[in-house]
């Protein structure tokens, strides 16, 4: 298997945008990414070009491109045909000033109250250091009624987690509505990519979300390779697949401990932390970095050492034992079962990804849908039906076993192949797509490279961006003291979402 086919590009005008996207969605594709581009800025012919990337379950990729004049830019909203599209539009409005017309939720998403009016940071002429005013506040939809009260939590939390504000409207102990306010960790990552040589983007991509260093750097590298027509040798692709699985292993094991810790059964967390540390040290031996940074490069991937298969197998066995001890404990099982259910139809219409989707019975996994390497017989997609905390826990447990098996298989196959050394010529222009099943879910990068080999636009979609809205849905009828457990079972990235 080599590179996937280049995407089918459909150019439409904005009058026909909605029907075109709707037709593609009806054809079984899902909206993976929407990226706005500012073409020929500061000329009289300045235009916005918006690329909608649709991904199929069979490796199919379709790009629907619409061009609009920059002055008074607007688009017909797609929120009616796709919920994720509505969120991409809100993001685009805040960052580029492109107005989605007749949007059902015309509220800001990225921008906080203290941003200056009319400030759209992704525009070429945006002031990099604007005059941020006092916080103009952020109104929340108030739930009124007898006995309803609000609990504000964050953005500074008690644990070592990222910033995010949650506003619960509660009756007694039952959550009526949960509103989340994110984008406290908005660093302007996409803008930081612009103008850098493509090879330098790797280091930045590794730092988008610290626990997904491989996922982001690989998606970025694959997008650049796709843009510049670089072929990656079989061995390097297998090494990349192995690294993705190593990342999945240590993160899933960490999650297992964290979920059980929130039920008060701390001993499992202690042992999970020990297993995670074992894996982190193994990572350091493999790549020179505990979080696997520095292993992926454009055109390839490197390992410093052979994976210790006995160690990985032993860790996976112990993780399975920990999971068994937890789920066979009646008090722990009672906390996990039926807590924070995300129904499959809701999960599907919200467009959630990763283990959250698979725990609600949706079989979405880029390793099967958009593969970049043949993973062999050891791979299968783990799914569960219930959609509760238990299902998300079980999916992770299943994926640990699959990942450990894949690491073993891939290591043997890598050993049998010769290391290739090709000198790369990074010359543009071009546009490309990178799709990776990172540990949280399907990660998409879309990269455009200029004629000088520098990046002109990088759009990043972390699976967390698509999955965050589902947390509030899953909390319906959940009680307040179970929120931390529900949140841990989602474990979404703030940095990856906020960019």
Partner 1 sequence: MTIGAVTVIVIHLVLAVLLSPVLIGVMRTTRARLEGRVGGGIRQPWRDLRKLLAKQPTRAPGSTPVLTLAPILLMASSLVLCALIPFVSTVALTSVPGDLFVVVGVLLLGTVALALLGLESGTAFGGMGSSRHMVIAALVEPTVLLSIYALSVPAGTSALAAIVRARLADPASLLNPASLLAIFALVVVVIAETGRLPVDNPSTHLELTMIHEAMILESGGRDLGWLELGSWLRLTALLGLVANLALPWGIAQDAAPLGLLVGVAAITGKLLLLGAALAAVEVFIAKLRLFRVPELLAGSFVLAFLSVSASYLVF
The residues binding partner 1 (CB under 8 A) are 149-153, 158-159, 173, 260, 262-267, 270-271, 274, 329, 331-332, 334-335, 479-484
Question: Toward partner 1, which CB reaches closer, 214 or 258?
Answer: 258
Question: Toward partner 1, which CB reaches closer, 199 or 479?
Answer: 479
Considering only CA atoms, which of 277, 269, 221 is closest in space to residue 244? 221
The alpha helices in 164-308, defined as continuous H runs, are 189-193, 201-206, 213-228, 234-261, 266-287
CA dist 8 and 10 (Å) reads: 7
- Convert 167-193 to b/e letters by CB count within 10 Å (16 or more is b): bbbbeeeebbbbbbbbbbbbeebbbbb
* Shortest Å distance, C-beta 477 to partner 1: 12
Question: Toward partner 1, which CB reaches closer, 150 or 452?
Answer: 150
CA dist 126 and 116 (Å) reads: 11
Q: How far apart are the first and last CA of the chain?
A: 33
Question: Toward partner 1, which CB reaches closer, 175 or 239?
Answer: 175
Question: Toward partner 1, which CB reaches closer, 212 or 269?
Answer: 269
* Shortest Å distance, C-beta 329 to partner 1: 6
* Shortest Å distance, C-beta 109 to partner 1: 25
* Shortest Å distance, C-beta 291 to partner 1: 24
Question: Toward partner 1, which CB reaches closer, 327 or 349?
Answer: 327
Considering only CA atoms, which of 385, 379, 370 is closest in space to residue 338? 385
Peptide bond into 429 cis (omega under 30): yes
The alpha helices in 354-493, defined as continuous H runs, are 354-359, 366-369, 389-415, 463-474, 483-490
* Shortest Å distance, C-beta 485 to partner 1: 8
Two tokens at 176? 């009526």
The 8-class DSSP code of residue 233 comes to -
Question: Toward partner 1, which CB reaches closer, 174 or 420?
Answer: 174
* CB-count exposure of residue 442 (10 Å: 0-12, 13-18, 19+): buried
* Shortest Å distance, C-beta 328 to partner 1: 12
* Shortest Å distance, C-beta 271 to partner 1: 7
């Amino acid at each position: 298997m080599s590179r996937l086919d280049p995407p089918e590009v459909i150019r439409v005008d904005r009058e026909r945008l909605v029907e075109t996207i709707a037709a593609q969605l009806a054809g079984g594709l899902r909206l993976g990414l929407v990226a706005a581009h500012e073409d020929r800025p500061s000329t009289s012919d300045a235009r916005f070009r918006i690329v909608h990337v649709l991904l199929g379950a069979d490796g199919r990729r379709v790009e629907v491109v619409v061009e609009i004049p920059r002055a008074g830019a607007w688009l017909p909203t797609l929120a009616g045909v796709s919920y994720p599209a509505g969120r991409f539009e809100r993001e685009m409005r805040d960052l580029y000033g492109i107005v989605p017309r007749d949007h059902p939720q015309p509220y800001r998403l990225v921008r906080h109250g203290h941003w200056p009016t009319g400030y759209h940071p992704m525009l070429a002429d945006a002031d990099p250091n604007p005059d941020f005013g006092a916080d103009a506040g952020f109104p929340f939809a108030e739930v009124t009624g007898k006995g309803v009260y609000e609990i504000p939590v964050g953005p500074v939390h008690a644990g070592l987690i990222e910033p995010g504000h949650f506003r619960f409207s509660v009756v007694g102990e039952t959550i009526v509505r949960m509103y989340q306010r994110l984008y406290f960790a908005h660093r302007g990552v996409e803008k930081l990519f612009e103008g850098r040589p493509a090879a330098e983007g790797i280091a930045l991509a590794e730092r988008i979300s610290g626990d997904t260093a491989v996922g982001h750097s690989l998606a970025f590298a694959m997008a650049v390779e796709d843009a510049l027509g670089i072929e990656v040798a079989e061995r390097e692709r297998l090494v990349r697949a192995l690294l993705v699985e190593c990342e999945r292993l240590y993160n899933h094991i960490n999650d297992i401990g964290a979920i059980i810790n929130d039920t008060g059964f701390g001993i499992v967390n202690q042992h999970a932390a020990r297993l995670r540390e074992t894996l982190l040290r193994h990572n350091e031996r493999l790549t020179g970095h505990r979080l696997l940074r520095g292993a992926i490069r454009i055109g390839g991937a490197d390992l410093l050492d052979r994976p210790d298969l006995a160690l990985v197998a032993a860790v996976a066995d112990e993780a399975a034992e920990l999971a068994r001890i937890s789920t066979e404990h009646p008090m722990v099982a009672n906390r996990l079962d039926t807590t924070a259910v995300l129904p499959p139809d809701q999960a599907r219409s919200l467009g959630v990804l990763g283990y959250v989707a698979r725990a609600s019975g949706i079989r979405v996994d880029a390793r099967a849908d958009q593969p970049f390497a043949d993973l062999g017989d050891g791979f299968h997609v783990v799914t569960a039906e219930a959609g509760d905390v238990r299902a998300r826990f079980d999916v992770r447990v299943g994926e640990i076993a699959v990942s450990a098996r894949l690491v073993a298989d891939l290591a043997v196959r890598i050993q049998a192949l010769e290391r290739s050394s090709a000198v790369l010529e990074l010359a543009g222009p071009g546009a490309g797509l990178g799709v990776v099943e990172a540990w949280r879910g399907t990660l998409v990068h879309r990269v455009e490279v200029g004629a000088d080999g520098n990046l002109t636009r990088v759009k990043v979609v972390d699976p967390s961006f698509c999955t965050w809205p589902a947390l509030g849905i899953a909390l319906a009828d959940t009680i307040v003291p179970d929120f931390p457990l529900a949140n841990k079972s989602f474990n979404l990235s703030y940095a990856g979402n906020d960019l």
